[in-house]
């Protein structure tokens, strides 16, 4: 494939001039510009982006680290990122980690190797200190509350307290909590708030999908001591719970109230009460923070949407 020097030769100009033409720099006479463009045309020239990246030291690619693409929570954040990236003509490199250290490291190494201009970590398993140590190679934004790095987050502690408050006001006393993984900043915040506000503890882990919700109902029914309300990981789990309740004749919300997280279409459609999280904005803000010079922590608000399950 023809390169810029071939073009220079063909157009009888210097490579600098070719580069100027290609980049719309001023200070190129019309005739030379024309000559270059003709050469470009006839030799079917196009830039090698890797050379551009190397030379410029930038790629206009940002990495996005997330555990699962298909989970609505993350795909919405991703969507927000994509939307904002599109504005600046940046591209997105995806690192689906499944919460594996190695995969997260790959992303960090790509940043280090200048393949990425920045990195957005939607969720992680690596220690914060490790992530931070890479921040000297480029901007890193986290979607959780941290003090050392740029971050966008939701105050999950408060959201849980608000949810519990809401449930208690409606007369529910034995409030349970469903969560996905056992570790993680966001999870910890939820658990801490929960333990702070509730004496009895009904905590269900590994609750992530519809079928997990169904499983939880079965689990609850087997037990004599059962919650009368649940704060649910997300709308999908709630949908599963709702579904299995119907099958088993458990009346929602009388026998079991449900307050889920995310407030996706599904919640609206099934009339599930839900804590709305501005995930799209979260992605957008995360992207914007990449190019913010000063350290910033950006908190986003949640809001409780009251429907028929509470």
Partner DNA sequence: ATAAAGTATGAAACGCGTTTCATAGCAAAT
Partner DNA sequence: ATTTGCTATGAAACGCGTTTCATACTTTAT
d(CA 212, CA 206): 7
Q: Which of residues 17 and 59 has its CB atom nearest to its own copies in the complex?
A: 59
Close Cβ partners of 227 (under 8 Å, ≥ 6 residues apart): 174, 175, 176, 202, 220, 256
Close Cβ partners of 95 (under 8 Å, ≥ 6 residues apart): 63, 64, 65, 66, 103, 104, 106, 107, 110
Considering CB distances under 5 to 8 angstroms, the limit depending on partner class, which of DNA, its own copies, none binds residue 196? none
Tokens of 255: 């026998």
Build a one-symbol-per-residue string for 246-285: x at contacts with its own copies by CB under 8 A, - elsewhere.
-------------------xx-xxx---------------
Greatest Cα pair distance in the chain: 88
Q: State the burial class of residue 13 (Cβ atoms within 10 Å of its Cβ: 0-12, 13-18, 19+).
A: buried
Helix, strand, or coil here: 292?
coil
Residue located via tokens 């007369």: 171
Q: Which of residues 78 and 142 has its CB atom nearest to its own copies in the complex?
A: 78
Q: By CB under 8 A, what part of segment 52-81 binds its own copies? A: 52-54, 57, 59, 61, 69-70, 72, 75-76, 78-79
Considering CB distances under 5 to 8 angstroms, the limit depending on partner class, which of DNA, its own copies, none binds residue 29? DNA
Answer for the pair 43, 7: CB distance below 8 angstroms, yes or no. Answer: yes
Query: Which residue of 104, 117, 144, 214 would you call a contact of its own copies, by CB under 8 A?
Result: 214
Q: By CB under 8 A, what part of segment 223-242 binds its own copies? A: 239-240
* Min dist. Cβ of residue 296 to its own copies (A): 25
Bridge-based pairing of strands 273-276 and 303-305 is antiparallel
d(CA 173, CA 143): 32
Q: Which of residues 48 and 303 has its CB atom nearest to DNA in the complex?
A: 48
Considering CB distances under 5 to 8 angstroms, the limit depending on partner class, which of DNA, its own copies, none binds residue 206? none
Residues contacting its own copies: total by CB under 8 A: 48
Close Cβ partners of 47 (under 8 Å, ≥ 6 residues apart): 4, 22
Strand partners, 33: none
Close Cβ partners of 303 (under 8 Å, ≥ 6 residues apart): 275, 276
d(CA 33, CA 111): 37
Build a one-symbol-per-residue string for 120-159: x at contacts with its own copies by CB under 8 A, - elsewhere.
----------------------------------------
Q: Does 219 bind its own copies (CB under 8 A)?
A: no
What are the residue ranges of helices labelled H in 198-231?
A: 210-222
Segment contacting its own copies by CB under 8 A, of 41-49, 144-152, 219-227, 301-309: 41-49
Q: Which of residues 8 and 160 has its CB atom nearest to DNA in the complex?
A: 8
* Min dist. Cβ of residue 18 to its own copies (A): 16
Answer for the pair 267, 276: CB distance below 8 angstroms, yes or no. Answer: no
Q: Which of residues 28 and 220 has its CB atom nearest to DNA in the complex?
A: 28
* Min dist. Cβ of residue 116 to its own copies (A): 9
Build a one-symbol-per-residue string for 82-121: x at contacts with its own copies by CB under 8 A, - elsewhere.
x---x--x-xxxxxx------x--x--xx-xxxx------
Give me the residues that bind its own copies (CB under 8 A), please.
46-54, 57, 59, 61, 69-70, 72, 75-76, 78-79, 82, 86, 89, 91-96, 103, 106, 109-110, 112-115, 209-211, 214, 239-240, 243, 265-266, 268-270
């Amino acid at each position: 494939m023809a390169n810029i020097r071939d073009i220079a030769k063909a157009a009888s100009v210097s490579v600098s001039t070719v580069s100027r033409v290609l980049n719309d720099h001023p200070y190129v006479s019309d005739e030379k510009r024309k000559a270059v463009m003709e050469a470009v045309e006839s030799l079917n020239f196009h830039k090698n982006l890797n050379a551009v990246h190397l030379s410029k030291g930038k790629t206009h690619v940002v990495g996005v680290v997330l555990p699962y693409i298909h989970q609505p929570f993350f795909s919405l954040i991703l969507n927000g990122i994509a939307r904002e990236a599109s504005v600046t003509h940046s591209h997105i490199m995806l690192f689906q980690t499944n919460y594996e250290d190695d995969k997260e490291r790959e992303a960090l190494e790509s940043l280090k190797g200048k393949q990425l201009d920045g990195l957005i970590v939607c969720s992680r398993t690596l220690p914060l200190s490790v992530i931070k140590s890479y921040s000297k190679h480029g901007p890193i934004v986290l979607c959780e509350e941290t003090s050392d790095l740029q971050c966008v987050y939701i105050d999950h502690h408060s959201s849980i307290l608000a949810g519990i408050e809401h449930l208690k006001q409606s007369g529910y006393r034995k409030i349970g909590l469903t969560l996905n993984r056992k570790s993680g900043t966001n999870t910890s915040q939820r658990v801490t708030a929960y333990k702070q506000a509730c004496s009895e503890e009904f905590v269900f882990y590994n609750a992530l999908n519809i079928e997990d919700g169904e499983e939880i109902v079965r689990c609850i029914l087997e037990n004599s001591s059962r919650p009368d309300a649940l704060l649910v990981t997300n709308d999908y789990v709630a949908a599963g719970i709702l579904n299995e309740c119907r099958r088993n004749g458990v009346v929602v919300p009388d026998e079991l109230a449900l307050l889920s997280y995310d407030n996706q279409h599904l919640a609206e459609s099934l009339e599930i009460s839900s804590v709305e999280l501005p995930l799209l904005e979260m992605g957008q803000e995360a992207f914007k923070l990449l190019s913010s010079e000063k350290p910033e922590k950006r908190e986003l608000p949640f809001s409780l949407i009251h429907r028929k399950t509470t």
